[in-house]
Chain A
Amino acid sequence: MDNSSSPSTTKNMSKSRKCQTVELSALEKQLINLLQHGLPVCERPFAQIAEEISSTEQAVIECLTKLRSEKVLTRFGPMFDAASLGGAFTLAALAVPEADFDFVTEQVNSFEQIAHNYRRDHDFNMWFVIATESAEEIEKVAQAIERKTGLKVLNVPKLKEFYVSLYLPV
């Protein structure tokens, strides 16, 4: 497992919150709502979608291309089960003393096996995903983080994942 996209460094959410929302056209809204549920698996999926919303295949293709290039859609296509791609994952957390927060962030982020890392408002204030090639490597990374930071890692791998049906209507 490699983390190919470039890591974004600390983003302050309260700052970025305000200006990110985009204005959407009626067709854009329709497509975003419809395609969150899924794209039909057939030779001309965009023609089938166009028919459902009384549009044209060309208009649908242009609209989706724009939404993707503007990154309103972060992904479009098959979503693979991460575990099926090989490798092991876990969610882990640290309770970091406030004074050490920047230092610990740097230490934790320096591991290429750390995929996501979020600051959260709790005693356990740093939550990150460790993604590795093997289960043994997860243990090694967790132990290395403990050595580097002197903090105990709370390691909470998933025991069971539930089916979700997230829908963000616009």
Chain B
Amino acid sequence: MSTITQEQEKLTDQERQYILLTQNGLPIIQEPYHAIAEQMNISVEQVLSLTKSMQERGVIRRIAAVPNHYKLGYQFNGMTVWDIDDEQAEKFGDAVGRLPFVSHCYLRPRFLPEWNYNLFAMVHGKTEESIAKYRGQIKELLKEVLVTRNHDSSQDIITKSNDMLTSTAILKKTGLRLKK
């Protein structure tokens, strides 16, 4: 079993303090960054430049609103998985990630023969038909790089080049937080 972790950005004490103050959200008040500045005992200019620096380095991905998918009517999600040519995986993975209905898009290792899919893309939609349609759109995009495999020709078992796993129950869900 191999584990690959992301290279970690070095955080300054000030940045850690900033994360602890904002990881549960930005205050929804006229001057939110002033409130943070006051708590950190630095100027608002420093808070704004700290924010921009963390954004540029990818420590902050976005400063945005994240809606509850279900409450907006996006009640269906599917984890689409694809067996695509390794040589082309980065280029095509990037294209799949840019589709507006994809919330996560990753390359992951295969474990043959039981798991042959290397590209994962999570799709969201308001109906079962819509997520099936989105899967179709991804398939169209990937059609030239899908891998055809046949692991067991004697038994005529053909490994599929793609699948969609829909969730039927949430078994556990907790938030990830930086520890104090």
Q: Which residues of B contact A45 (CB under 8 A)?
A: 32
How far is B59's CA from A78's CA once the two chains are assembled, in angstroms? Answer: 9
Interface of B is mostly: mixed
- Knowing A35-B64, A38-B63, A115-B174, say if A78 contacts B48 (CB, 8 Å): no
How many residue pairs between the two chains, A and B, have CB atoms under 8 Å in the bound complex? Answer: 296
A84 interfacial by beta-carbon distance below 8 Å? yes
Measured between beta carbons, the chain B residues less than 8 angstroms from A168 are 67, 69, 72, 74, 124
Q: Which residues of A contact B115 (CB under 8 A)?
A: 124, 154, 156
Interface size class of A (residues with CB under 8 A): 35 or more
Contact between A162 and B97 (Cβ–Cβ < 8 Å)? yes
Contact A167 B100 (CB under 8 A): yes
Q: B residues within 8 A CB of A115? A: 172-176
Among residues 129 to 146 in chain A, which have CB atoms less than 8 Å away from a CB atom of chain B? 131, 135, 138-139, 142
User: Is chain A's interface secondary structure helix, strand, loop, or mixed overall?
Assistant: mixed
Q: Which chain A residues have a beta carbon within 8 Å of chain B's beta carbons?
A: 1-14, 16-17, 20-22, 31-32, 35-39, 41-47, 57, 61, 64-65, 67-68, 71-86, 88-91, 95, 105, 108-109, 114-122, 124, 126-128, 131, 135, 138-139, 142, 153-168, 170
Which B positions have Cβ atoms within 8 angstroms of A?
A: 1-9, 11, 19, 22-26, 28-34, 44, 48, 51-52, 54-55, 58-75, 79, 89-90, 93-94, 96-98, 100-109, 111, 114-115, 120, 124, 163, 165-179
